[in-house]
Structure 1
């Protein structure tokens, strides 16, 4: 069995790889790092990039925390044990260009030891995913993004992509707006070993997904970063960012887990954009690119 220490060490290495590649992509901005400790056990490395050529605000965060679960989280997870360990890498990037998409990635591991006298077996699982939130949905970019995810899924299990795509469609859904946060991607939780897939394979899939981030996102950035845009398109970007904010504050499970387990507030809320606008009763013009984008923020669209 792979140790939790090895999982955390490999995740830290992936954080290093991603930060170096994002700095190279941006060209001028560098990550600022803050090492923090969590009251109750563990800590992490928060890395923030701001005011760059293309990245207005972004975070690539690593954490490895342990301690005792609050009752509310135990109930949500449907577990009896108190002690837990969790580690992962979480990324959100907000570009300054309305034709470059927002991206989010998370890879994580969670475990709880067996309870007293081994009455309850140990709990171990991986979770994660990557999803894309374009301000304007470009269909060729959407197909490329989903093909990249399908390719990495197919390397490990041919059922993963479709299962995890549906999961993402349902998870990244803003119920009160009746729209998806973006064009989805893949999302999974509580993935563990089965008769068909080994524990080591599940871990390798988690790492491979993390390493899919850079070739996928840098391609999308470079396709669009030099395109001209208007002030109206920038205002639309701020409008779309408001929907991103609503999802993260109302529905996102990672945000809730971090707040409930006394996580570091700045790291938890780094996903929020630097500027967003809520325009009252906004209505897209018929036939506009904005209207087209809204029409594509639906569950169940097949991009590959």
Structure 2
């Protein structure tokens, strides 16, 4: 049986690998590290990079926390047990370049002790990776989704179609009637089933974590040398405002962290350094901005 200590140790290794890769991508800034302890049990490692050549603000956070769930979280998770253990790696990167996309990734593990009824621990994996371009570039979207599909297919042919649909539904800004970006994959409560072992689920979780660095390196290098002006920069700030709205209104990880007495700075590191809300903005007909808005919808088959 895979232990929670093994999951946490492997996730910490993935955090280290990703931080090293991002420092290479940027070529200037280095991560600042802060160790923290959670009142109630556990703690984590927050790493922040900022003011770089290409990375304006980014966080790669690891946590392994335990304790007692508040009643509100128990109700949301539909569980009866009080004690929990959770570990994960969470990443959000905001580039300073409008043609380079925002990217988010999370891999996580959740466990509760056995109840008196079944003598089996309640445990599952969750996570995903999604892309939020300021400008949707078809070739980049196809590369991103095709890579995710290939990783998913290594473990189970049903994963990509299931998790892609889940991401479309999850990363949806209902009050704007648009998706946060071009999606990716999202999954939760993934457990061992008849033909899928715990080892397979765990290896899949780690494979998603290790997909982050090569995928983002490719996307950054494709676009980092493109010219842009103030108009593109202002659009970038506007798209960041949508990202902010989603994270503060809908994101389950943000809510879980706040309701379990998580570290505020680590939880809200996902917010961009600068964002703008313009009243009733309408893009120019035929513009790249209008085209991007037309592609922020569910059900687009980007994988080739």
> What TM-score results when the alignment is normalised by the length of structure 1?
0.99
> What does 1:155-304 align with in structure 2 at a 5 Å threshold?
155-304=154-303
Question: 1:294, 1:276 → 2: CA distance?
Answer: 17
1:152 match: 151
Quote how far apart the aligned CAs of 1:76 are.
Answer: 0.2
- Count residues with an aligned counterpart: 303
Question: 2:18, 2:194 → 1: CA distance?
Answer: 33
Q: In the TM superposition, what whole-angstrom CA distance separates every residue of 1:51-98 from its partner, at most 9, and x where no partner exists?
A: 000000000000000000000000000000000000000000000000
Question: 1:15, 1:120 → 2: CA distance?
Answer: 33
Does 2:52 align with 1:52? Answer: yes
Question: 2:135, 2:232 → 1: CA distance?
Answer: 9
Question: 1:287, 1:120 → 2: CA distance?
Answer: 61
**Which secondary structure does the structure 1 equivalent of 2:155 belong to?**
coil
Q: In the TM superposition, what whole-angstrom CA distance separates every residue of 1:239-263 from its partner, at most 9, and x where no partner exists?
A: 0000000000000000000000000
Q: In the TM superposition, what whole-angstrom CA distance separates every residue of 1:2-61 from its partner, at most 9, and x where no partner exists?
A: 000000000000000000000011000000000000000000000000000000000000
Does 2:43 align with 1:43? Answer: yes
Question: 2:209, 2:118 → 1: CA distance?
Answer: 35
Q: In the TM superposition, what whole-angstrom CA distance separates every residue of 1:147-203 from its partner, at most 9, and x where no partner exists?
A: 110010000001100000000000000000000000000000000000110000000
RMSD of aligned alpha carbons: 0.7
Question: 1:128, 1:218 → 2: CA distance?
Answer: 20
1:13 match: 13
Question: 1:114, 1:262 → 2: CA distance?
Answer: 24
2:85 match: 85
**Which secondary structure does the structure 2 equivalent of 1:282 belong to?**
coil
Question: 2:62, 2:302 → 1: CA distance?
Answer: 31
Question: 1:75, 1:182 → 2: CA distance?
Answer: 30
**Which secondary structure does the structure 1 equivalent of 2:254 belong to?**
helix
Quote how far apart the aligned CAs of 1:120 are.
Answer: 6.8
Which runs of no fewer than 5 residues in structure 1 stay unpaired? Answer: none
Question: 2:208, 2:107 → 1: CA distance?
Answer: 8
Which runs of no fewer than 5 residues in structure 2 stay unpaired? Answer: none
Q: In the TM superposition, what whole-angstrom CA distance separates every residue of 1:109-129 from its partner, at most 9, and x where no partner exists?
A: 0000013x3467421000000
Quote how far apart the aligned CAs of 1:230 are.
Answer: 1.1
**Which secondary structure does the structure 2 equivalent of 1:155 belong to?**
helix
**Which secondary structure does the structure 2 equivalent of 1:59 belong to?**
strand
2:28 match: 28
Question: 2:11, 2:165 → 1: CA distance?
Answer: 26
